[in-house]
Each structure stands twice: as structure tokens, then as C-alpha cells.
Amino acid sequence: MAEAEHRILIVDDEAVIRKLLARILDRAGYQIVEAVDGLDAIEKLHQNPALRLVVSDLRMPNCGGLELVRRAINEFRRDFEFILLTGDGDKSDAIGALRLGVREFLDKPVDRADFETAVTQAQERLRERDLESERIRKLELDNVSQSKTLDDITRKLGGAEQEMVDRLSLISQYRDIETAEHCVRVGLYSQLLAEMYGLDTQTQRTIRLAGILHDIGKVGVPDEVLLKEGPLTDSEFEVMKRHTEIGFAMLNSSNNPVLEQAAIIARNHHEKWEGTGYCVGLSGEEIPVIARIVSIADVYDALRSSRRYKPPFSHLEAVDIITRGDGRTAPGMFDPTLLGLFAEHHSRFESIFDGMPDQLV
């Protein structure tokens, strides 16, 4: 176990509880950092960049466990695991914590065996995500995920990729269209889903490249619609929907086979499995599989990303919205086979997102 994996932050306003939990973990070989409330915990996290596993009481003065989780997620570019200790009156707060991505809850008084198991499982989840992030970094080391600007991407790619980056550069000339990182992440998620779905290696590569350009048609949407702060009216939404046809027209003129696939994606990635999408209203397997794949990838990244009309959702919130629905998004929108693959392997999507955050380009 690496040194960083030995360190655990215990947060509780009762000294006797802190000492009890620390004693259990000390015997298991962990290094313990203690905090008396959420404010103290935030300070300890600033002082100890290696701390990623936090065991916290839910109810504390000054700053409770729920606020601690929220602040830690917002203030630190760090992958956390939280174990929250709950009492009988904490169930509503526990639901709020679930929405923030907390996976482990233990009732007080804490059972030693349950506590040790929860810590072991949390450490294993951190380790698995680290391995997946490292795998993604290695795969993309000489590719777009390590590029800091579009110029860097251009220098590294050639052929079909070069032509796509030229078109992606066109998008960057228009303000407030989704970042280059969003576009590239959608390509990476799509490649991952294509692999899981059993598509051949060449198709996996093609969908990664073609998926980058899924929203290129937004360059043709007027600023008063594209940049609107609030919700769109029905007539404005009809204008926004045209980006699928605009993107198809832009890409379909190329003889490049990758761009031909990108044109299909641009036109069809807003079609829905149950037939209520646009621009044609296709349903089921009428929708090209590459567009069905990009549809899930695009929705996941859009949920995770900050937009002028919404804050970013946590990974587990995004998974819950896609797999269970929220009134706007529903599981019936997606190919059920692809949805099942996403639900089973969603942590791999999280690793891609965390490994390639948005940057200014």
C-alpha cells in the first residue's frame, strides 16, 4: 500500500469517538489525521494533499458532514471517498450526501467489523479509479488528452485527425461553445462504449475521432439563442435543433471516411430510442449505432460540466439521472444495451472526466 493510501482523516466533535475509530485504524496500519468539525477538516485537507479518504460524523457544530463533503468536492481537485456516520435523525441529510456521491454510511454506534470493511472497500475504489486514470493517461500520452491547446493537438495529429482539428478550431472562434475538452472527452467515452459493445478496433478509433465533432453545427446557431442565460422558448429551441442539420451539411461534404461518420453522428446524436428526439424522429435500431453511442457520452459529459444555465452534477448524480431519470432525461431515451454497459462500467467514464478537466483554449 502506498504511503498516501495509509492516511485517513477522521472528523467528529466527540473526542471519544475519534479515539475509538483511530485505535481501530491504527491497529490496521493506517496513519490517522483527526479533525473536530468540518471547518477543521477543510484545514487538514489543505495541509495534507494526500488525504483522500474521509470518515466523518454527519451532525457536528460549525460545519457538519454534509457541508464538509460539499466544500471538499468544490474546493479540491482531488478524488475523495467519504464514509459518513449517521444517527437516527440523519436520514434526510444522508439522501443529500448520496446525491453528492457519498457511497458509505455507517450507523452509530459503529460496528468494528463493518467499519473495517467500509474502509477497505473505499480504499479499493480509490485504487481502482487511480489505475483507470493511469490507463487513460498512458493511452492518451501522445494524443489529445495531454495537449494543452488546440495548437498542441494540431502538431501531434495528421491525416483525418488534422482535418478534424482544423474544423474544431473553427468552433473555438465562436465564444462560449463547449470547450475542446468536452468534445474530446465525448470522443473518448464513445470509444470506450464502442469497445464494450464489441465493435471492431477501427470503428472504435473512428468513433473517437468522429465523436469530437458531434456539436460542430452549433457554429450556425445565432448568439441570442446559443448564449441565452435562461431556458429556451419553443421557437428558440426549434432554432437550436437546427445545429444537427448544420453539422451534417458541414461534414457530409468531405470524402474522408472519418468525417462521413462524423456527419452521421452530428445529424443523429439527439435522436432517442423511444422516438421522441430530433432531427428526424428515428427510433430504436433505425438510429445508427454510432449516434446511439455518442448520445450517452454527450449527455453524461453535459451533466458533469458547468453550463450557464446549470451547475455541474457529481458523477453519481449524472449516473442516477441517466439510468433512472429526472423528468428531463429518461432511461428510455437510450439504447437499453448501451445503457446497461454504461451503468455497469460508469466508473470508467468518471476516470476519463477526472483525467481531462476543462481548460481555457
Q: What is the DSSP letter of 179?
A: P
Task: Using the predicted structure, report yes or no on whether residue 171 has a pLDDT greater than 80.
Answer: no
Which of 126, 132, 136 minimizes the C-alpha distance to 103? 126
Phi, psi of 34 (to 5 degrees): -110, 150
The helix/strand/coil state of 358 is coil
DSSP assignment letter at 331: G
pLDDT at 182: 80
Q: Which three cell numbers stand for residue 268?
A: 443523429
The pLDDT of residue 4: 47
Checking if the pLDDT of 201 tops 70, the result is: yes
Which set of grid coordinates corresponds to residue 120? Answer: 477497505
- Give domain limits for the chain: 3-135, 140-355
Superfamily for the 140-355 domain: Hypothetical protein af1432 (1.10.3210.10)
- Least confident interval from 80-94, 158-172, 244-258, 278-292: 158-172
The answer to whether residue 92 scores a pLDDT higher than 90 is no
Which of the following is catalytic: 44, 108, 138, 218? 218
**Cα(47)–Cα(1) distance, rounded to whole angstroms?**
22
How do residues 11-46 score in pLDDT, each as one tens digit? 999 999 999 999 999 988 899 999 999 999 999 998
Least confident of 84-88, 207-211, 310-314: 84-88
Q: What percent of the chain has pLDDT over 70?
A: 82
Interacting residues of 227 by C-beta distance below 8 A, sequence separation 6+? 175, 176, 308
Quote the CA–CA distance of 235 and 145 in Å, as a whole number.
37
Report DSSP state, residue 307.
B
Identical fold between 3-135 and 140-355? no
Calculate helix-pair angle for 346-355, 180-197, nearest 10 degrees. 150
Report whether pLDDT(142) > 70.
no
- pLDDT recorded at residue 76: 81
User: Mean pLDDT score of the chain, rounded to an integer?
Assistant: 82
Cell representation of residue 37: 468539525
Predicted pLDDT at 323: 94
Query: Residue 24 has what pLDDT?
Result: 93
Per residue in 57-83, pLDDT tens?
988 998 989 899 989 888 887 888 999
Question: Rg of the chain's alpha carbons, rounded to an integer?
Answer: 23
The sheet carrying 53-57 orders its strands as 31-35, 7-11, 53-57, 81-86, 104-107
pLDDT band, very low/low/confident/very high, at 271 (cuts 50, 70, 90): very high
What are the φ/ψ torsions at residue 31 (nearest 5 degrees)? -95, 130
Q: Do you find a cis peptide bond into 63, omega within 30 degrees of 0?
A: no
pLDDT band (50, 70, 90) for residue 5: low
Pick the residue with more confidence: 84 or 103?
A: 84
Strand 31-35, strand 81-86: pairing: unpaired
Q: How confident is the model at residue 177 (pLDDT cuts 50, 70, 90)?
A: low
- Residue 218 designated active-site: yes
Q: How far apart are CA 320 and CA 323, in angstroms?
A: 5
Query: In this predicted structure, what is the pLDDT of residue 3?
Result: 46
Give the largest Cα separation in the chain, rounded.
71
Between helices 243-252 and 257-268, what is the axis angle to 10°?
Answer: 170
Homologous superfamily of 3-135: Response regulator (3.40.50.2300)
Inform me whether the pLDDT recorded for 156 exceeds 60. no
**Range with the lowest mean pLDDT among 102-116, 176-190, 252-266?**
176-190
Cell (9 digits) for 82 = 467519504
